Amino acid sequence: MRVRDAMSGTVWSCMRDESAESAARVMWDRNVGAVAVTDGEGKLVGIVTDRDICMLAYFNGTALATLPVAAAMSNWVFTVGPDETIPAAEQLMRSNQIRRLPVVENGKAVGMLSLGDIARVEASGALSGNPDPFAVVVSEIVKPREHIGNLVPAAPRA
């Protein structure tokens, strides 16, 4: 099985000079925990996660609208190609302790492979012929929820 068979084919992105608030809005609206960061030509230059943005907000104590994505993003990004095998992608994730791998072709993100995607593959038994019981649990836990983009986040506490 190849990465292209398991990845999410939709890649949500932002540019490094956009505000961290705009990246957070994309994550909220699209119910994702990370977005690819691209340059003006659509080439992948980084990745930013919901945790990155939370830590940026905490340590800066200022509105996310005033902070650029570049201040929170990871510049060093592990990637995988769409024709790479799932076991190779798993090994890359395991050895580098990463939860999401941008899938890149010709420098541009064409998908995202997450722990949830890997869990669904393992739960199906597609690789070994036997569903992994732990992967079944994980795949249920990380199953995408219904779209929540039209909900309004709670107001900050005073």
Q: How many CB atoms lie within 10 A of CB 136?
A: 16
Q: Looking at the domain assignment, is residue 21 inside a domain?
A: yes
Q: Looking at the domain assignment, is residue 156 inside a domain?
A: no
Asked if residue 149 has pLDDT above 80, the reply is: no
The DSSP-derived string for the chain is -BHHHHSBS---EEETTSBHHHHHHHHHHHT-SEEEEE-TTS-EEEEEEHHHHHHHHHHH-S-GGGSBGGGTSBSS---B-TTSBHHHHHHHHHHHT-SEEEEEETTEEEEEEEHHHHHHHHHHTTTTSS--HHHHHHHHHTPPPSP-TTSPPPPPP-
Query: Which tens digit of pLDDT belongs to each residue from 76-132?
Result: 999 999 999 999 999 999 999 999 999 999 989 999 999 999 999 988 888 888 888
Q: Which amino acid is at 8?
A: S
Q: Looking at the domain assignment, is residue 155 inside a domain?
A: no
Domain that holds residue 8: 3-141
Asked if residue 158 has pLDDT above 70, the reply is: no
pLDDT score at 126? 85
Q: Count the domains in the chain.
A: 1
Q: Looking at the domain assignment, is residue 59 inside a domain?
A: yes
Phi and psi, residue 107, nearest 5°: 80, -5
Contact present, 63 and 92 (Cβ < 8 Å): no
Query: Which tens digit of pLDDT belongs to each residue from 8-26?
Result: 988 999 999 999 999 999 9
- Tokens in use for 61? 């104590």
Q: Looking at the domain assignment, is residue 62 inside a domain?
A: yes
The CATH number of the domain holding residue 54 is: 3.10.580.10
Contact present, 3 and 84 (Cβ < 8 Å): yes
Q: Looking at the domain assignment, is residue 74 inside a domain?
A: yes
